[in-house]
Copies of this chain bind each other. A is one copy, B any other.
Amino acid sequence: MSANTFGTLFRLTTFGESHGPAMGGIIDGCPAGLIIDNEFVQHELNRRRPGQSGYTSPRDESDSIEFLSGIFEGKSTGTPIAFIIRNTDQRSFDYDHVREAYRPSHADFTYDSKYGFRDYRGGGRSSARETLSRVAGGAIAKLLLKEVGITVKAYVQRIGEIDTAQDFSIEQLENIESSPVRCPDKAASDKMLTLINRLKAEGDTAGGVISCIIEGVPAGLGEPVFDKLQADLAKAVMSINTAKGFEYGDGFNAASMRGSEHNDIFIAAGAGKIETATNHSGGIQGGISNGADIRFRVAFKPIATIRQAQQTVNRIGESVEIEGKGRHDVCVVPRAVPIVEAMAALVIADHLLRNRSARL
């Protein structure tokens, strides 16, 4: 019900503005007895951190997490797990020039329209820095999923017009972190880097597409009719900054296929197990997981802050010119990989718990 809470039973509530004292959140509904691996959580946060390579914003924050509750002797207690991440590098003067101006395709105008005023420092609540809390929450969700053999992995499939034409399995993603753009296709990865360098020189930005695979999900997760698994996944990732599209299985391509092509034939896989011969469905049928890998993709637009002069208006409608200053990425898509994984993990963890009530 709450705009800053995600999930039904495994729930994450986030808070924090880009240049306020801290980001953070509360995970409520984590079952008791889960070993909380702090290093893993911090590792996930580091994956999201800017300044990991020359290709992303050099804002260097330690982003170190402090847990405030819900953990005792290394294990979750069943009570809310709160955490904060202090904002240590708040150069708010960088943003004074946008106090009055509405940056094109940013949330300045809409926040003012909604709330009457806004925390204009670094985008305030609309900053992508908010996703830090999602990654922290998602890390706890991943720990829960690990207990039942579920793995969530994502990779960059496209940056700008460079697209790896291939599909990858989760095993092929093992060395994904060695690619600075998190693309497992070496050739495509190199081209993406070349593109980013060119755009950096031009003061421009690029979008892209992320593919995500969830392996090990048992058949039965998903809650028709409104909380179908794909519906909750769609909401989860479409709530990430700059996401513009979601598809699962064959997605938009399915629109051009015949039923006879798209149908996944069931086969007996031995030991009473039933599988599908193909996976056009992307692991979900009728809104419920069928045991196959869940596969979905998310499209991201290019980020709005460019290092070129742009025309816009200010609060009172006067024409002003604006140009991106401060620290900004050319392409955030590689950094969005852990965010997409986090949101997917939150959805699956939630549905895992919800499914406990499916039967007598």
Indicate which residue in B1, B247, B285 contacts A246 across the interface (CB closer than 8 Å): B247
Docked-complex contact B105 and A239, CB < 8 angstroms: no
Q: Residue of B at shortest CB range from A331? A: B259
**Cα(A355)–Cα(B104), bound, Å:** 23
| Binary contact track A111-126/B, C-beta < 8 Å → 1, others 0 | 1011111110000111
From 27 to 52 in chain A, residues with beta carbon under 8 angstroms from any chain B beta carbon are 28-29, 31-34
**Cα(A209)–Cα(B256), bound, Å:** 9
| Binary contact track A192-205/B, C-beta < 8 Å → 1, others 0 | 00000001000011
A238 close to chain B: CB less than 8 A: yes
Among A17, A113, A205, A261, chain B packs the most CB atoms within 10 A around the CB of A113
Please classify how large the interface on chain A is, using the bins under 10, 10 to 19, 20 to 34, 35 or more.
35 or more
Docked-complex contact B246 and A239, CB < 8 angstroms: no
Instruction: Given A107-B288, A225-B3, A259-B305, answer yes or no on A72-B119 (Cβ-Cβ < 8 Å).
Output: yes
Docked-complex contact A69 and B20, CB < 8 angstroms: yes
Chain B residue numbers with a CB within 8 Å of A299 are: 247, 251-252, 254-255
- What 10 A-B pairs are tightest by C-beta distance, nearest first? A107-B286, A245-B247, A3-B223, A205-B259, A110-B288, A235-B235, A32-B115, A113-B219, A254-B301, A231-B239
